[in-house]
Chain A
């Protein structure tokens, strides 16, 4: 679709944003605003002046600051985060194209196939032996064990023309261990990138060690530019849980996927594959923009993941917390870790609660999503926070002063949310999860910086 059409459509959708009673300017006002509750006849609060809260399939190009305070800037980035979330989870049709007529969550089920799920999966970029990536749009390579006996593999591996995700990864970054749900099943992780990023990797042959060794210069992924209305690099990391007993599928974005457990020598695990229904529990959306060469880091979670620490008034059910179990929180399961077997559920608590401002914008968007369709699964997601560079162009500060300094998703950085010292949470530089700090260390296999993407360090 043309950008013109996108804009028109976005305008139409903004009608969905029902005007509220107040139009406060400051974040303080936002803090005091009553929380609009998602209801049958939602009436969400309007955003501060100068911003429109709308549901649009347009991927935002960049953040435009509307004020000079930290609170105002954070609100702008959180707005950007939600626009990203909505646009990337917009309905795609059977051919994988955005369908502007089908508003996010408007299908009778309340769910829909999404834009980012049509993007290029990590396994199709970094391939054994340094082989070139499979073409954009090609289905994932299906291991033989996933081509179930007697069945035509193409049919099983794809739903329509949208390829089924192939979920492999079952451990968090740097061997910190798995996240295990209340049914004893390991969460799975997936990384995809958009086409500008993919094209850049292919054009510069960064997918192989040989290509990286001959690459000269600095990895500079293309960035989105508001002035020229060009879209740049976006990467997405998703965390999924296999839906099972106790899970309410109507509260998740659900995907059918091939869950593949590769063979392992240590511990000895035979490869296996199963087709499963998965619920989306965590979603990082990371975009490189002209104003943020260190990228803008947003992260979302399904609302039932885990309670805040210290846990008080726990709900009766969480994806990753058992009320009353007494198990120590955020403690990794004992080794050996074997995703082919059931393990002890991880008792997760969120160590940094969402800010009041983030809760406000979450309520606004959740209400908008519910207004489209009371059954919309998307109303059950919440923004955790958005991390952005406050000094993006200071040579003394190549990291750009990450703001806020820390950010963790309980499903992806479960074990580095903060140190508990005598029951108090301490947020530790370099130790506690900070997207930008950590990804600033990402390199090619040649040790040259890889533009904040760890994907390329895996090249063969």
Chain B
């Protein structure tokens, strides 16, 4: 699937997703990525949002080229999330990463669809709450009696983050 998306666009999408989700890019686009949610999400958003999606990416590409990474969150807040058109669309993508659901209309959590089984399983919210998706644990019998491992790495540019 990733073949269909130019590398530079995918790179922009992953970096933006990293800012939106607060996850290091190696979580979103791990090496040897046979599940490849990033491509599924890219295409889901592109198909549903069209020009708005392109505008989000081009806006963020500009941010990337104009500012150092530690300013990206602030820039995204101001230039994308605060925008009446781009904001809801970006939050739609953000929620897609967290729960694998494409919410439509974008600014609520009652209507939408799970874009794939792997998207449900790969939802970041489960890592965020130091748990696992309902119906899919990788841990062994009795793990629930002990503290969970810490959540996944934060983006490099975040305070205390980096991998």
User: Whole-angstrom distance from the CB of B125 to the nearest CB of chain A?
Assistant: 14
Say if the beta carbon of B160 comes within 8 Å of chain A. no
A residues in contact with B121, CB < 8 Å: 429
Q: Are B30 and A390 in contact, with the CB atoms below 8 A? A: yes
- Interchain CA distance A396-B127 in the complex, whole Å: 8
Q: Are A391 and B117 in contact, with the CB atoms below 8 A? A: no
Interface residues on chain A, number (Cβ under 8 Å) = 25
User: Whole-angstrom distance from the CB of B123 to the nearest CB of chain A?
Assistant: 12
Q: Hey, what's the 0/1 contact readout for A425-448 against B, CB within 8 Å counting as 1?
A: 011111000000000110100011
Q: Are A429 and B118 in contact, with the CB atoms below 8 A? A: yes
Measured CB to CB, the nearest residue on chain B to A397 is: B138
- Interchain CA distance A146-B40 in the complex, whole Å: 57
Chain B residues touching A, majority SS:
loop
A residues in contact with B151, CB < 8 Å: 396
User: Whole-angstrom distance from the CB of A371 to the nearest CB of chain B?
Assistant: 33
- Interface stretch of the complex, out of B31-39, B74-82, B85-93: B31-39
Interface residues on chain B, number (Cβ under 8 Å) = 21
User: Whole-angstrom distance from the CB of A366 to the nearest CB of chain B?
Assistant: 26
Q: Are B34 and A390 in contact, with the CB atoms below 8 A? A: yes
- Interchain CA distance A428-B117 in the complex, whole Å: 7
- Interchain CA distance A233-B82 in the complex, whole Å: 57
A residues in contact with B135, CB < 8 Å: 430
Within 8 A of B (CB), among A250-271: none
Say if the beta carbon of B149 comes within 8 Å of chain A. yes
Q: Are A443 and B141 in contact, with the CB atoms below 8 A? A: yes
Q: Are B34 and A404 in contact, with the CB atoms below 8 A? A: yes
- Residue among A68, A396, A399 having the largest count of chain B Cβ atoms under 10 Å: A396
B residues in contact with A429, CB < 8 Å: 117-118, 121, 136
Q: Hey, what's the 0/1 contact readout for A68-82 against B, CB within 8 Å counting as 1?
A: 101001000000000
Q: Are B34 and A70 in contact, with the CB atoms below 8 A? A: yes
Q: Hey, what's the 0/1 contact readout for B19-57 against A, CB within 8 Å counting as 1?
A: 000000000001111110000000000000000000000
Q: Are A443 and B140 in contact, with the CB atoms below 8 A? A: yes
- Interchain CA distance A167-B142 in the complex, whole Å: 35
- Interchain CA distance A68-B140 in the complex, whole Å: 31
Say if the beta carbon of A401 comes within 8 Å of chain B. yes
Within 8 A of B (CB), among A389-408: 390-391, 395-399, 401, 403-405
Say if the beta carbon of A105 comes within 8 Å of chain B. no
- Interchain CA distance A440-B34 in the complex, whole Å: 19
- Interchain CA distance A449-B141 in the complex, whole Å: 7
- Interchain CA distance A350-B55 in the complex, whole Å: 44
Say if the beta carbon of B144 comes within 8 Å of chain A. no
| A395-B149, A426-B117, A429-B121 known; A447-B141 Cβ under 8 A | yes
Pick the residue among A428, A441, A447 that contacts B142 (CB under 8 A). A447
Say if the beta carbon of B152 comes within 8 Å of chain A. yes
A residues in contact with B118, CB < 8 Å: 405, 429
Q: Are A398 and B140 in contact, with the CB atoms below 8 A? A: yes
| A390-B32, A405-B35 known; A398-B141 Cβ under 8 A | no
Pick the residue among A73, A397, A441, A443 that contacts B32 (CB under 8 A). A73
- Interchain CA distance A396-B149 in the complex, whole Å: 6
Q: Are B139 and A398 in contact, with the CB atoms below 8 A? A: yes
Shortest beta-carbon contacts, A-B, top 7:
A390-B32, A399-B138, A447-B141, A449-B140, A403-B34, A395-B149, A70-B32
23 A-B interface contacts by CB (under 8 A): A70-B34, A73-B32, A390-B32, A390-B33, A391-B30, A396-B149, A396-B151, A398-B138, A398-B139, A398-B140, A401-B30, A401-B32, A401-B34, A403-B34, A405-B118, A427-B117, A428-B117, A429-B117, A429-B118, A430-B136, A440-B140, A448-B140, A449-B140
New A-B pairs, 13, CB < 8 Å, besides A398-B139, A447-B141: A70-B32, A390-B33, A396-B152, A398-B138, A401-B32, A401-B34, A403-B32, A403-B34, A405-B35, A429-B118, A429-B121, A430-B136, A448-B141
